[in-house]
Structure 1
C-alpha cells in the first residue's frame, strides 16, 4: 500500500524553514510546497499525463495560501479526470487573456520593433527580430508580458548561452528594451531583466582580428590580388581594405548608390548602423575595381550579388570565406578587421587627423559645439585621405619602404 501522507497545516507551512538547503513538504495527491535555500516557498502540483510526469506551478506562499493552493489543485484534478492536461489548459487561459488585452510578450515586442526600427539600419532591425523569433517567442511569446519573471527569462537566455554567450547578452538587451517599453505603455509593472544582473558570465571583449603592422599588410594585399576564386568575391576583398566600410555595408552595396564619375558612394541611412546616411569618397583604385566588375554585375541591383540569385546580395560570410581560402586564419584577419587596420595605420603611420578617420569610419563625430557632423563634412580632406590611403596600400604591395608605427612614449 502507498504511504499515507498527512495533510499540511497553516501553522506548519508558515513556520517551515529551509535551513540552507531545499526542502519539500507534501500535502498529498501530488500537491507540495518547495522551500528554497533563499527563503522562498513555492507551491507545486506533480501529476502524470500522457504517460509522462509533469510539474505545474501554483504560485508562491504567502501570496497563495494553503487553502488557495488546495483550491487550484482541486480544479486541476478535475481537469485530469476529464482527460485535459492542466498545464496546457493554464497556458491557453493565459494566452487568451493576454491576446484579448494585446499584452503577450510577442505582441508587445513586435509593437516595440515596429515603432523603433526606423532608427536602426535595415540589417540591424532584421537581426533583432530574427533573434526574438528564433530564441524568445517559442518559449515566452504567448506569455502575458506582465507575468514574466526573471527566472523564466534566465532559462531562455541560458539556452542561448549554450550556443553563444555574446548572442545571449544581445537578446537580453533587446528583451530589456521590450519590457521597458511595456512599462511605459502600461502593459507591465516592471522590467525583470534588471534582476538578471550578474546572472550570465561576462563576455570577454575581443577586437576584430587585423594586421596593423605594415610589414604584415603587404603579403595580405598581394594574396588578395592573386585570389583565384569568384571574381565578385575577389573585388569585394580588394575593396574592403581600400574603403574600410562595415562588411554588411559593402555586401549590400547597390549600383544606384555609386557615382563613378563623381567618385562617390552614397550609402542611405537605412543601411547604416547609426541610421545616418554616409558618403564614401572613392579613390582611383576603387574606381578601377568597380569598372572591371560593372560588365559582370552592373545589369543588376547589387554590386556583389549572390551567386545563386541576382535578387540577393552575396552572403555575409563570403569575404571571410575568401580570406580563409587564401590561408589566413580567423585570428589573423576578418572582413571587419580591415577597419581596425585602416584606423591604426592612418593614425600612427600616415598621421591623419583622428576626426577625419572616425568620420570616414561612420562613427559619430561632433564639432566643438556638440553637433554631429553631416555626411559631407570635411569632404575635400577625406577625399585626399582616401586617395593617400589607397596609394599607400599600392606602395606596400609593390615593396615600397615601410614606415614604422609611431609609438607613444
Structure 2
C-alpha cells in the first residue's frame, strides 16, 4: 500500500531499524536514532543494489517518487542509477574543489603549518603523487575501496610491499581529514586491511659484538674521504643519533662549551625537543670541523651546496667503500649497537638508555610519571661509552 504524508510524519524510532514501503522498491528506513532515510532497491545485471535518495522530510514523498521514476528510466536505458549518481557528484565535486587531490593538498598545507619535518612532508607528498593519476580528479566522497585497491596493487606489483602499506595509510589520513571537514562520510581504506601482501620486516644491519665493533672503529679512523663525511661517520658510534638528525645538525644547536646538543622538536621523529650530552671525544671532533663549516648554518653541508646537508646515501656509501656490505653496517644500525651493548653492560638504567635514544614509552600513564631526562646519568653514560669505544678500537 502506498505511503501517505501522515504515515511518514508519524513514523517513530523503534528498538530496531524498520522500513516503510511505498512500492516499486522505494521505502523509508527509520533508524533507532530517529533518522528517516529514503532508499530505492533495484536490480541490474542480475544483482540487487540499493540507492540512497536522501532524508525525509528534506526529500518529501512526492520528490522521492520522482527520483524513483528517474532511476527506472535510467535502468530502462541500461544505466546503473548508483553509477550515474557518483558521476554527477564527481562533476559537482570537482567544480567546488572537493576532489581527492584538492583535499590532499589542503592536508599537506595543514601539516606544513603544524611544523611537520620537511622530510615527513616530502614523503607524504611523494606517496600522494602516486595516487593522482587515478584518484586525483575524482570527488573524494565518491571513491570506494574498490577504486583504491588497483592503485595499491600497482605499487605492490613492483615488489614495494612496504610502500604499498604506507600508501594505504596515507590515503586513509586524507579521508579522515575529509571526514573532519564534512567532505566524506567514511574512510574506505579501512576495508583494505589485510588485502595487501605483508612486507617482510628486515632489521637494519648493526654490529653488536665488541671485537667486530673495534675493527669497524679502526676502519672509520682510517677513512680519508670528505672532512664532513668523516666527522659524521666518527660521531655516529659516539652519539648513536638517528642519521637524519645528525646530518641536518646546525651549529646553533650545539653548545660545545657546555657539551650539549639540543635538537629542536621540528627535527625529531617524535616531535619533541631532545638534549644530548656530548662526550669529550665528540666535542673534539666538532671543534676540529668548526673552522671548515662553522661560518655556515649546517654542521655537515653537502659538497654541492652549503644549503643542504650530506645525504644518508653518502654515509652508507662510505661504509661500502670501507668494505662493509649493507647486510653488515648501516648508518642507522649504530643505535642498535649502542642499545645492545649499553644494556648488556649492566651499568646503566634502561630508562636512561631509552631516553638517550629519544624513544617514547608506549605506556602513556608511565610516560606521564617518568618525565625525568636522567640527565646526570646520561652524561656519565655517554663519557663511559666514548671511552669504551676507544678501548675496543685499541684492542685490535
- Normalising by structure 2, we get a TM-score of 0.76
Which residue of the partner structure matches residue 319 of structure 1?
A: 315
Counterpart pick for 1:68 among 70, 74, 80: 74
- What is the CA-CA distance between 1:349 and the residue it aligns to? 2.3
Establish whether residue 277 from structure 1 lines up as the match of residue 273 from structure 2: yes
Q: 1:358 aligns with which of 343, 351, 354?
A: 354
- Asked if the contact 1:119/1:275 (under 8 Å) is kept, the reply is no
**Aligned partners of 2:238 and 2:191: how far apart in 1?**
45
The answer to whether the aligner puts 1:154 opposite 2:155 as a matched pair is no
Please tell me whether residue 371 in structure 1 is matched to residue 377 in structure 2. no
User: Secondary structure of the residue that 1:265 maps to in structure 2?
Assistant: strand
From 263, 267, 275, the equivalent of 1:267 is 263
Q: CA RMSD in A?
A: 2.9
Q: Which residue of 2 aligns with 1:172?
A: 168
The one of 205, 209, 228 equivalent to 2:205 is: 209
Tell me which of 111, 124, 139 is aligned to 2:106.
111
Q: Where in structure 2 are there 5+ consecutive unaligned residues? A: 1-43, 50-67, 80-85
| Equivalent in 91, 94, 102 of residue 99 of structure 1 | 94
Alignment check: 8 A CA contact 1:367 1:373 kept: no
Cα shift at 1:34: 7.0
Show the counterpart of 2:331: 335
The worse-fitting range, judged by mean Cα deviation, of 111-120 and 332-341 is 111-120
Shift of 1:181: 2.1
Aligned to 1:249: 245
Q: 1:144 aligns with which of 135, 139, 143?
A: 139
Which residue is equivalent to 2:223? Answer: 227
**Which residue in 2 is equivalent to 1:239?**
235
In structure 2, C-alpha distance between the alignment counterparts of 1:252 and 1:323, rounded to whole Å: 19
Per-residue deviation, 1:184: 2.7
Question: Which TM-score applies when normalising by structure 1?
Answer: 0.73
Q: How does 1:10-29 map to 2 (within 5 A)?
A: none
**Equivalent pair of 2:94/2:138 in contact (CA under 8 Å):** no
Shift, 1:94, TM fit: 6.1
Unaligned runs of 5+ in 1: 1-32, 42-61, 74-89, 401-409
Is 2:377 the counterpart of 1:381? yes
